[in-house]
Amino acid sequence: MLSANGQVLERLLKGEFICRTSDEDSWRLLKNPHYREQIESHLNVLNRTVGESGSGSDSEVFFCGYQTLGDAERKVVSAQFKEIVNSLIPLSQWLMLVQEAEGNDTPLTEGVPIRLNEIQTTIEETPALREELAKLSHFRLFGSQSAMVEGQIKQIFKRLVELGYLLRPNPEKQHYIATGKIDYLYEVIRFINETEALDLEAHAEAASAQGSLL
Amino acid sequence: MSHNLHQAGSKFLKMMARHSDTIMDAYLAGSLGDHKLEPKVQDKLVKAGVLYRPEPGADLHLRHAVRNLLEEALKDERNRQIDANAGSAVATFKTLAQHYTESRHQGDVAASDAYYRDLSEHVYAFSEGLQHSIRVMWSRINNEFGYVGSINAKIRENELAQSQVSELLSGLEMISFEELADISGDIRELRRLLVSNLQQTITGCIQELGVVQGRLLKLLGRFRHIQGRAKLLKGWLLYTSQHPDYEVANHVAHKQLPMLFNQAECIIAPASVDIQNATHEADLMRQAAQVKSNQLLRNAVSEAQHAESVVLSENEDFELNEHPIKAAVSNYFVHVIDHVKPGADSISALQYLEQEALDYDAESWLYQVIGGYEGLPESQKEFFELDPEFDVLVPFANVVIKDVSVGLR
């Protein structure tokens, strides 16, 4: 049997993200400075380190990064960066679609449950959302061939579970829970926004001001 | 006097109970149209001060006091009313305390008693009101302002709650215990009521309000965080759709790699089995057994593929062998049909058992006969009649069936 430390190490080295929703025990262990140091020293042997994103008491995500970067590591990191950037647009469009289908003004965050059936009904009834979904499902990230709403949305959710953005606690039910990897996405957007000075918030405000004027 | 008041009060309450549906309608809908009420009822409720018309021609509304009572009783979250006016309450305390000391000096025991009762009522009501306000605050915090939908409304509600808390706190600061101690002088009851009791309550409330304030600020921070995220997401989508040729800069090319993008490759591959490890032996054996059974399964499947072609032909007739005891019961029935006239006395089951020298236990035979009778189709059943012969055993009136006989109707 694996010890708690071993479990954390295994998950990190598998390239998984550890958040409160996906694995609360491991997450708590990493929050504890003493254990975190132990994990860190184990990882350092392999030129790895514990990376984290997000701030605040509950919303932190841990993952495994390189301690020092050589040429080989840089290659891996830049390949991964490309992957993240490529999936950013489909994922953010998906986030918006879920938010609109649920009629919320708050975007999806870690720990929020999604009921696929409810979203599916709303999308089926709203032509604009149906169109959005069809566009979304043909991204390479999701790769759906289906022409029906049900097939498209199920494929998207299946892919998101595979990629670790969602959890499906009960395989017999179409209920999903967002993981900390979703929060990681926001951090990426925030980072791009800040370093490239895109001023995205002003864009959003201008758009909503226009909307209220209309 | 008090008897009259008592009577009038209970009459009023009964009237409210009689019209409880109307009152709840008004509470839930906010107002009641004229057409929904009979003029007589409307008149009565308006006169009693339960409903009122805020301006001529407007719908009827529930009076504030009644609404408050309902909100309190129903623990309704929409109740956002908080009475932050500590100043006037304290002024009332002072006045009543002065009345009390004066009447005490004059030796008017009845009047001073009445003032004291009045004063304590006010003090208790004040403390209760404070505690109620704090409770309301907590309930708002605990469901995160769940009674409003949008995040902007939540932020506004949070700001309202914060201003109410600071108002409450500044109101409580105004209470000067020195002054109250001066007024109560050396009268023990007054000191207990106005100084020690009140002070205790207020210190507790101030402490709790401090905690509430902290929580509200934290919650506001969270709301703003969520709002920031919503804007970020929306802005990002807008920006990328407005600038289709936009490409994210290569942030990993910098010398100093942001931690956010420093993700290591996964390096754990599936481990191999160690067959030398004795502790794994049981598990491995089980796995091996499964492998074998899988292979068998596959063989079975492949054989089925070589099956000969199936020829469809009619099935040969076959007969189901009836169980001997069931056959014996049928024979008994046939015997009855053949030998017994309708309505006449029949041969009983046990007699038949003896006569035919059947080798069954008497009791199972009886069960089988009863079962055989009950198992007949309804159309055949009506030709037969089952006549049990029984004893009633005295102490507990248990019925024992000794024998049955089947006859024809």
Q: CA-to-CA distance for A61 and B2, rounded, in angstroms?
A: 69
A177 phi and psi angles, rounded to 5 deg: -130, 135
Q: How far is A75 from chain B (nearest CA, A)?
A: 10
Chain B residues whose CB is inside 8 A of the A73 CB are 264
Q: What pLDDT score does B300 carry?
A: 53
**DSSP three-state, residue A175:** strand
Distance of CA A167 to CAs A51, A61, A173, B67, Å? 22, 15, 12, 46
The arithmetic mean of pLDDT across residues A42-60, rounded, is 80
Q: How far is B236 from chain A (nearest CA, A)?
A: 6
- Contacts for B10-16: CB closer than 8 Å, 24+ residues apart: B12/B48, B15/B44, B15/B45, B15/B48, B16/B48, B16/B50, B16/B66
Distance of CA B385 to CAs B336, B342, B406, Å? 11, 10, 6
**Residue A48 and residue B264: Cβ atoms within 8 Å?**
yes
Residues in B 358-377 with any Cβ partner in A closer than 8 A: none
Comparing A57-61, B57-61, B150-154, B163-167, the range with the smallest average pLDDT is A57-61
Scan for tokens 């998207």, then name that residue: A156
Closest residue in chain B to residue A10, using alpha carbons only: B268
B266 vs A14, A74, A109: nearest CB: A14
Decide which of B202 and B54 is more confident.
B202
Q: How far is B229 from chain A (nearest CA, A)?
A: 7
Chain B residues whose CB is inside 8 A of the A192 CB are 248-249, 251
How confident is the model over B68-99, as pLDDT tens digits?
A: 888 778 776 666 666 667 788 888 888 988 89
Interface probe for B, chosen from A109, A186, A194, A205 (most Cβ of B below 10 Å), is A186
Domain A77-213, CATH = 1.10.10
Tokens of B300: 């079975």
* pLDDT of residue A91 exceeding 90: yes
Residues A141, A144, A150, A153, Cα dihedral to 10°:
0
The arithmetic mean of pLDDT across residues A142-157, rounded, is 88
**Residue B232 and residue A52: Cβ atoms within 8 Å?**
no
Q: CA-to-CA distance for A150 and A120, rounded, in angstroms?
A: 7
Q: What pLDDT score does B34 carry?
A: 77
**Residue B251 and residue A192: Cβ atoms within 8 Å?**
yes
**Residue A105 and residue B152: Cβ atoms within 8 Å?**
yes
**Residue B251 and residue A15: Cβ atoms within 8 Å?**
no
* pLDDT of residue B305 exceeding 60: no
* Residue pair B264/A64 in contact by the 8 Å Cβ criterion: yes
Tokens of A182: 């979703």
> Please, what sign has the CA dihedral across residues A102, A109, B242, A157?
negative
Q: What pLDDT score does B308 carry?
A: 65
**Residue B267 and residue A46: Cβ atoms within 8 Å?**
yes
Chain A residues whose CB is inside 8 A of the B248 CB are 85, 88, 192, 196
CA nearest neighbour of B98 among B117, B124, B119: B119
Expressed in angstroms, the distance from the first to the final Cα of chain A is 63
Decide which of B2 and A21 is more confident.
A21
Q: How far is B78 from chain A (nearest CA, A)?
A: 21
**DSSP three-state, residue A8:** helix
**Residue B230 and residue A196: Cβ atoms within 8 Å?**
no
**Residue A200 and residue B262: Cβ atoms within 8 Å?**
no
Q: CA-to-CA distance for B58 and B23, rounded, in angstroms?
A: 17
CA nearest neighbour of B369 among B397, B327, B408, B340: B327
Tokens of B302: 């492949």
**Residue A89 and residue B231: Cβ atoms within 8 Å?**
no
Chain A residues whose CB is inside 8 A of the B150 CB are 105
Scan for tokens 């400075």, then name that residue: A33
Q: What is the DSSP string of A106-119?
A: S---TT-EEEHHHH
Q: CA-to-CA distance for B192 and B123, rounded, in angstroms?
A: 11
How confident is the model over B278-295, as pLDDT tens digits?
A: 888 888 888 888 876 665
How confident is the model over B386-408, as pLDDT tens digits?
A: 788 877 777 777 778 788 888 77
* Residue pair B360/B325 in contact by the 8 Å Cβ criterion: yes
In chain A, where are the structural domains located? Answer: 4-66, 77-213
Residues in A 82-111 with any Cβ partner in B closer than 8 A: 84-85, 88-89, 92-93, 95-96, 99, 105-107, 109
**CA atoms lying within 13 Å on the CB side of residue A89:** 18
Chain B residues whose CB is inside 8 A of the A202 CB are 235
**Residue A48 and residue B240: Cβ atoms within 8 Å?**
no
Q: How confident is the model at residue B298 (pLDDT cuts 50, 70, 90)?
A: low
Q: How far is A34 from chain B (nearest CA, A)?
A: 21
Q: How confident is the model at residue A211 (pLDDT cuts 50, 70, 90)?
A: low
> Please, what sign has the CA dihedral across residues B199, B200, B201, B204?
positive
* pLDDT of residue A77 exceeding 60: yes
Q: CA-to-CA distance for B23 and B269, rounded, in angstroms?
A: 70
How confident is the model over A158-183, as pLDDT tens digits?
A: 999 999 999 999 888 889 999 988 98
Chain A residues whose CB is inside 8 A of the B151 CB are 105-106
Q: CA-to-CA distance for B266 and A52, rounded, in angstroms?
A: 16
Tokens of B136: 């309301």
**Residue B261 and residue A77: Cβ atoms within 8 Å?**
yes
Percent of chain A with pLDDT over 70: 95
Q: Is A209 on the interface with B (CB under 8 A)?
A: no
Q: Is B309 on the interface with A (CB under 8 A)?
A: no
Q: CA-to-CA distance for A66 and A51, rounded, in angstroms?
A: 9
Cβ-based neighbour number of residue B386 at 10 Å: 15
Tokens of A110: 């870690």
Residues in B 220-259 with any Cβ partner in A closer than 8 A: 225-226, 228-240, 248-253, 257-259
Please state the separation of Cα B166 from the chain's center in Å.
35
Q: What pLDDT score does B78 carry?
A: 63
Interface probe for A, chosen from B154, B238, B252 (most Cβ of A below 10 Å), is B252
How confident is the model over B235-273, as pLDDT tens digits?
A: 898 888 888 888 888 888 877 888 888 888 888 776 777
What is the ipTM for the molecules in this complex? 0.85
Tokens of B367: 């069960």
**Residue A80 and residue B263: Cβ atoms within 8 Å?**
yes
**Residue A63 and residue B268: Cβ atoms within 8 Å?**
no
Q: How far is A3 from chain B (nearest CA, A)?
A: 17
* pLDDT of residue B322 exceeding 60: yes
Q: How confident is the model at residue B307 (pLDDT cuts 50, 70, 90)?
A: low
- Interchain CB contacts (distance < 8 Å): A and B: 135
SS (H, E, C) chain B: CHHHHHHHHHHHHHHHHHCHHHHHHHHHHCEECHHHCCHHHHHHHHHHCCEECCCCCCCEEECHHHHHHHHHHHCCCCCCCCCCCHHHHHHHHHHHHHHHHHHHHCCCHHHHHHHHHHHHHHHHHHHHHHHHHHHHHHHHHHCCCCCCCCHHHHHHHHHHHHHHHHHHHHHHHHCCHHHHHHHHCCCHHHHHHHHHHHHHHHHHHHHHHHHHHHHHHHHHHHHHHHHHHHHHHHHHHHHHHHCCCCCCCCCCCCCCCCHHHCCCCCCCCCCCCCCCCHHHHHHHHHHHHHHHHHHHHHHHHHHHHCCCCCCCCCCCCCCCCCCHHHHHHHHHHHHHHHHCCCCCCCCEHHHHHHHCCCCCCHHHHHHHHHHHHHCCCHHHHCCEEEEEEEEEECCCCEEEEEEEEEEEC
Q: What is the pTM of this model?
A: 0.60
